[in-house]
Amino acid sequence: MIDFEVNRERCTRCGSCSKDCPSRIIVMDDEGFPSIAADKEPSCLRCEHCLAICPAGAISILGFRPENSLALKGGFPDPKQLETLIRGRRSVRRYLPDNLDPELLQKLLDVASCAPTGMNSHQVRFTVLDDRAKVLRLNQEVMEGLARLDREGALLASKGYYGRFVRIWEKHRVDLIFRDAPHLLIASAPKSVSTPKEDCMIALSFFELFAQTQGIGTLWNGLASWAIDQLLPEIRRSLGIADDHMFGYAMTFGKPAVHYARTVQHHPANAYRP
Ligand SMILES: Cc1cc2nc3c(=O)[nH]c(=O)nc-3n(C[C@H](O)[C@H](O)[C@H](O)COP(=O)(O)O)c2cc1C
């Protein structure tokens, strides 16, 4: 049941919802009001475009009512601000030890979970280490696991640098994998959805950008991702990442101990116009 409801007092019968429905299942009835036939409901993508586009706020669907949506007029950041955010976000590798306020952490995840997903599946799962003590424990387990693989000569030639990271950790307690971040986020998604990897990467991209507007630093963490997903599957399991889930990526984050004064500079886009 998708609970498609039309408030007939508000509906102006403009047909915008019908025209914008990606599955084209909204039809205008004999009186000119939109409706969805029961046998068409399974084709609904649950995208809520009908709720979003209605100028009169007349459409509710899936139990969501238009009055609980954010109004869009004038609400987007201006282009210059967004450009500065995209150009100015940095990979943060130095963190304060404090944990994030749990409410802020939840807010970051709620916003990231609004990222688009293939066929609107919205099945990205966020595995979050919400306390620095948990990341420290994980770091210890990862370092021990990597040290064992190194001793056994089981690190692939292409991943041999992990042995060096372990020795630096053992000798100097310098953490080149998690970078002493207080938090870790892993996005995963069921392999059965149409675009699991892409869904995870887009969600993490949204997470990163929104986090940086809140003064929270992030780091796309390939080193943690490969270690947990490919080299040490027992750790992946202990983090509760199901075997039928594709490991999207890991991202470390927290309050930065570093502040950048300006953007870096890039060459123009590598655009090819055939
Ligand atoms: C997919 C991906 C994986 C990355 N993995 C790591 C990593 O494991 N460790 C790290 O220190 N940086 C990692 N980085 C950060 C890049 O090195 C960084 O983006 C690059 O040096 C440019 O710096 P900037 O992000 O501040 O512009 C990763 C970046 C991406 C996009």
pTM of the model: 0.95
Q: Round to whole Å and give the CA distance between 147 and 142.
A: 8
Q: Round to whole Å and give the CA distance between 185 and 260.
A: 23
Given this structure, which CATH class describes domain 5-68?
Answer: alpha beta
Can you give the pLDDT at residue 176? 97
Can you give the pLDDT at residue 157? 77
Residue 218 in contact with residue 208, Cβ under 8 Å? yes
Can you give the pLDDT at residue 155? 87
Pocket of ligand 1, candidates 85, 219, 223, 229: which has the most ligand atoms within 8 Å of its Cβ, to mutate? Answer: 219
Region(s) of the chain under CATH 3.40.109.10:
81-254
CA of 177 relative to ligand 1 center, distance in Å: 11
Which residue ranges have their beta carbon within 6 Å of ligand 1? 90-91, 93, 219-223
Nearest CA to ligand 1 atom 28: 220
Residue 264 CA, closest ligand 1 atom number: 27
Nearest CA to ligand 1 atom 17: 91
Q: Which residues contact 76 (CB under 8 A, 6 or more apart)?
A: 82
Can you give the pLDDT at residue 158? 77
CA of 250 relative to ligand 1 center, distance in Å: 11
Region(s) of the chain under CATH 3.30.70.20:
5-68
CATH of domain 81-254: 3.40.109.10
CA of 196 relative to ligand 1 center, distance in Å: 21
Q: What is the pLDDT along the chain (274 residues), one digit of tens a residue?
A: 999 999 999 999 999 999 999 999 999 999 999 999 999 999 999 999 999 999 999 999 999 999 999 999 999 999 999 999 999 999 999 999 999 999 999 999 999 999 999 999 999 999 999 999 999 999 999 999 999 999 999 887 778 899 999 999 999 999 999 999 999 999 999 999 999 999 999 999 999 999 999 999 999 999 999 999 999 999 999 999 999 999 999 999 999 999 999 999 999 999 999 9
CA of 221 relative to ligand 1 center, distance in Å: 7
